[in-house]
Amino acid sequence: MAWFQKTKKTLESKKKSELPDGLWMKCENCGEIIFRKELIKNHHICQTCRFHFRISSRDYIELLVDEGSFREFNAELISADPLKFKDTKKYTDRVQAAVKKTGINDAVRTGFGTMDERKIVLGVMDFDFFGGSVGSVVGEKITRAVFKAIEGKYPLILVSASGGMRMQEGMYSLLQMAKTTCALAELSVAGLPYISVLTHPTTGGTTASFSMQGDVIIAEPGALIGFAGPRVIKQTIGQDLPPGFQRSEFLLQHGFIDMIEDRSRLKKTLSTIISHLCD
């Protein structure tokens, strides 16, 4: 007994000194142990099963625009709690916690950037901020991003990752679906392309508005995309959902997205599509 404990202790301490915390991680899909540096190099894709780990808005910006070209706008916008909403916690406290956790002020970042030297407007949602939920700030930032695209005659790319509309702002949130739609209607009339990229997960009012309004809609492999969440559907129908239900591949099969693209080729594909649609 005694010698076993001792050996274990030695092993553990040795491991710690050589491998700082979090250097290795496990793929949540296939269970493969992955070297973190390797994962980052591979756009956070598991090389064994091609599972796409969720990445931050910062990572997407790095991935999609030419190095150093991103100029963020409206980053200072933050929720003002119009309903003085409180459940078990105050909404304002929840917002503060999300700001602290992510270092951004709401669930989308928007800005100018170049993609293979072509100027674009890019908006990227961040699921780590309040589940990527859409309230006044996200709606306003997307609307302003659309206006910037119209003003400069730039193509627009929005990367979605969202659980839907944010309950804590009530009807203000729901109406952001109409607000962003009206902005995109003006973009559409102006003849400018809007490419929507759907990442894991995109559900609720987000899917039922701007995410599904792209001229071209691209999804990452295996992403959960739908209107109602799987738990709600399961409750409604009282049986388990078929495997692959509401995943990117399911949407492609049913005709609701144009393609599924691997993250490592996403920039190239977006760039090619835009070059076909713009002069």
Partner 1 sequence: MPERIALEFERPIIDLEKKIAEMRALSGSSQIELDDEIFRLEKKANKLRKDVYSSLTRWQKTQLARHPDRPYTLDYVKRIFDQFVELHGDRAFADDPAIVTGLGKIDETSVIVIGHQKGRGTKDNLYRNFGMPNPEGYRKAKRIMALAEKFNRPIIAFIDTPGAYPGLGAEERGQAEAIATNLMVMAKLPVPYIAVVIGEGGSGGALAISVADRIYMLENSIYSVITPEGCASILYRDASHAPKAAEAMKITAKDLAGLKLIDGLIDEPLGGAHRDPDFVAGKIKEMLLSALDELKSVPVDELIAKRHQRYFDVGVWSEVKK
- Please give the size of the binding site for partner 1, defined by CB under 8 A: 62
The b/e string for 57-91 (b: 16+ C-beta within 10 A; e otherwise) is: bebbbebbbeeebbeeebeebebebeeebeeeeeb
139 interacts with partner 1 by CB under 8 A: yes
Which of 245, 265, 268, 272 touches partner 1 by CB under 8 A?
Answer: 245
Listed in sequence order, the residues at least 6 apart from 2 whose beta carbon sits closer than 8 Å to its beta carbon are none
233 interacts with partner 1 by CB under 8 A: yes
Query: Cβ 39 to partner 1, closest distance in Å?
Result: 31
Residue placing its CB nearer to partner 1 in the complex, 131 or 155: 131
Q: Nearest to residue 47, comparing CAs of 246, 264, 244, 195? A: 264
Which of 63, 77, 150, 277 touches partner 1 by CB under 8 A?
Answer: 77
DSSP symbol at 118: E
* Region of 2-10, 25-33, 149-157, 161-169 interacting with partner 1 (CB under 8 A): 161-169
Kindly write out the interface string for residues 82-111 of this chain, putting x where it contacts partner 1 by CB under 8 A and - elsewhere: xx-xxxx----------------x------
* Alpha carbons 141 and 119: distance in angstroms, whole number: 19
What's the CA angle centered on 25, arms 21 and 31, to 5 degrees? 150
123 interacts with partner 1 by CB under 8 A: no
Distances (CA, A) of 265 to 218, 262, 268: 12, 6, 5
Binding site for partner 1 (CB under 8 A): 76-80, 82-83, 85-88, 105, 136-137, 139-140, 143, 165-167, 169-179, 181-186, 188-189, 204-205, 207-213, 225-228, 232-233, 236-237, 241, 245-246, 254-256
